[in-house]
Amino acid sequence: MAGHPAVEEPSAARSAHEGILRRQSARESAARTYARALPIVPVRARGLTIEGADGRRYLDCLSGAGTLALGHNHPVVLDAIRKVLDSGAPLHVLDLATPVKDAFTTELFRTLPPGLADHARVQFCGPAGTDAVEAAFKLVRAATGRNGMLAFAGAYHGMTSGALEASGDALDVRVARLPYPQDYRCPFGVGGPHGAELAARWTQSILDDPKSGVPLPAGMILEPVQGEGGVLPAPDEWMRRMRQITADRSIPLIADEVQTGVGRTGAFWAVEHSGITPDVMVLSKAIGGSLPLAVIVYRDDLDVWEPGAHAGTFRGNQLAMAAGTATMAYVRENDLTARAATLGARMLNQLRSLAREFPVIGDVRGRGLMIGVEMVEAEGERAGEGRAGGANDADRSAGLCTDGPSNAGGASAAVTPGAVPSPRPASPELATAVQRECLRRGLIVELGGRHASVVRLLPPLTITDEQVTAVLDRLADAVAAVARSHGPGGGRHQQQHRRRGGSGGEGAG
Ligand code: PMP
């Protein structure tokens, strides 16, 4: 813990912690994920704070991969769970009606975009987000009698086979993949409104060209902000274009709000930013208030399913429904969506200042409390070898992307006048180093993005101003440490950071 006061760790606690980690790596699958990058053993948690078996405390900006809208163990969630337990209600009821489920559906429908709320149906699915994605595909295939699906480059929809087919790293003939608009690594090399317009035109031409090789699909699935894909907020105008293109061709539009839902992006559902009404919404994570729950909601005229067409044993998790009802109601009643918008804007601003200090930060982007910091190779390392074009300043200032990139430091200097600057190559190594340095400073962050080069922040919507400051201090300190150890191109003001020393320590803010 160089430069940071380590908490005195009782040796018994330390060895219990190490024993658990050792047994985990000896017994659990090689496919384990978060556990590799985050060798901690959580034993207690409250709000933003997790305490490990070794006594160390962390600020948790992973939040169960964006699940914990209210942070860990929020009192209203615990109360709701206790009430069900104390009431003697059955905990397992398949898909039978219960008062708990009735209250959940009422609260959920209350939040839906107006165009959907009046005509909505809900299907309770198996408990994971990926189960709901499968259900959505099955529903639109049944409703349209068609088979193919449109999805977007960089998408992440889950790990079951249909969801995987629609995600970025799979190949399947039933899924046609389209360009998702992004400024920093725009596939067309222009970014901004122009890049988004080209992406929309590409989609339209695929659908209208009888020789495109893409037959009329059963549906289009999109994330309003790509999360795992690197925190890419879709421009509102592009969202409206997708709505128009699909509506004109009777293609059901599926919004995957598994990660963006329940206030995270500064609107209760992220589709509200653009004002569109999707035909199907895929919901999970935060709607279960930290317990497993997944549903699809959709327009009732798509409800062509026969009884039993989509079944499953675990579709009636009463505790999750109670926790989810309490979470959604709390977010709504306390206007945490507005809070997420305000805090997110503040965090983006400060992170953009940090990016101006440290050229290893290529881009800062996000919406609400869904924030990404893309790490790139430092100046001097392979300068001028950027892979994709970045947006020029005119495009950026035109503002199609609400929270588009702002960091000129991320673009290679080797650009001819008038040409679009190319971003430097993504650096998964630096991102991993930042994640590690954050952990040393008591901050948990996730990595994502095409090249696993994006440091992701998904704090709970209940995070306080002081905690935001502590999170940003620790992150800044971690970036400074990484830039320092990566040579002279890493940071412009490393001395300043070295002197300041960040918030450090293990105590949660
Ligand atoms: N869709 C999106 C947008 C997601 O972010 C995720 C999970 N990160 C999923 C679907 C899959 O959810 P689950 O891991 O619960 O299956």
pLDDT, tens digit, 9 for 90 and up, residues 13-23:
899 999 999 99
Q: Which residue's CA is the nearest one to ligand 1's atom 11? A: 158
Fold exhibited by the domain 76-333: Aspartate Aminotransferase; domain 2 (3.40.640)
Mean pLDDT, the chain, rounded, equals 88
CA atoms within 13 A on the CB side of 51: 10
Measured CA distances, 55 to 446, 473, 483 (Å):
22, 22, 29
Query: Which atom of ligand 1 lies nearest, measured to the CA of 130?
Result: 16
Could you list the beta-strand ranges (E) of 42-119. 42-46, 49-52, 57-60
Atom number of ligand 1 nearest to Cα 158: 11
- Determine which of 74-83, 281-290, 439-448, 496-505 has the lowest per-residue pLDDT on average: 496-505
Sign of the alpha-carbon dihedral angle for 479, 481, 486, 487: positive
pLDDT for 245 equals 98
Predicted confidence at residue 171, as pLDDT, reads: 55
Which of 130, 262, 269, 271, when mutated, tests ligand 1's pocket best, judged by the most ligand atoms within 8 Å of its CB?
A: 130
431, containing H or E segment: helix 428-440
In the reported structure, the alpha carbon of residue 163 is separated from the centroid of ligand 1 by a whole-number distance in angstroms of 9
Q: What is the pLDDT of residue 10?
A: 63
**pLDDT band at 416; cut points 50, 70, 90:** very low
Report which of residues 308 and 392 the model is more confident about: 308
- Structure letter (DSSP) for residue 460: -
What is the whole-number distance in angstroms between the Cα of residue 210 and the centre of ligand 1?
33
pLDDT score for 234 = 98
Q: For the whole model, what pTM was predicted?
A: 0.89
More confident residue, 504 or 73: 73
Question: Strand 175-178 vs strand 219-222: parallel, antiparallel, or unpaired?
Answer: unpaired
Residue nearest to atom 13 of ligand 1 (CA): 129
Compute the radius of gyration of the chain from its Cα atoms: 23
Q: Which atom of ligand 1 is nearest to the CA of 127?
A: 15
**Distance in Å, CA 226 to ligand 1 centroid:** 11
The yes-or-no verdict on residue 134 having pLDDT over 70 is yes
- For residue 226, give the ligand 1 atom closest to its CA: 3
What's the CA-to-centroid distance between 84 and ligand 1, angstroms?
Answer: 27
Residue 24's Cβ-count burial label (10 Å; 0-12, 13-18, 19+) is middle
441 Cα–ligand 1 center, Å: 28
Pick from 11-15, 192-196, 394-398, 427-431: least confident: 394-398
Digit-coded pLDDT (tens) for 231-284: 999 999 999 999 999 999 999 999 999 999 999 999 999 999 999 999 999 999
pLDDT 10s digits, 457-500: 999 999 999 999 999 999 999 999 999 998 765 555 544 444 44
Confidence of residue 162 (pLDDT cuts 50, 70, 90): confident
Q: What pLDDT is stored for residue 420 in this prediction?
A: 59
Residue 471 CA, ligand 1 centroid: distance in Å: 25
Looking at the predicted structure, is the pLDDT value of residue 385 above 70?
A: no
Answer whether residue 501 shows pLDDT above 60: no
Of residues 506 and 10, the one with the higher pLDDT is: 10
What is the reported pLDDT for 365? 98
Q: Which of 164, 228, 258 has most ligand 1 atoms within 8 Å of CB, for mutation?
A: 258
CA of 91 to the centre of ligand 1 (A): 25
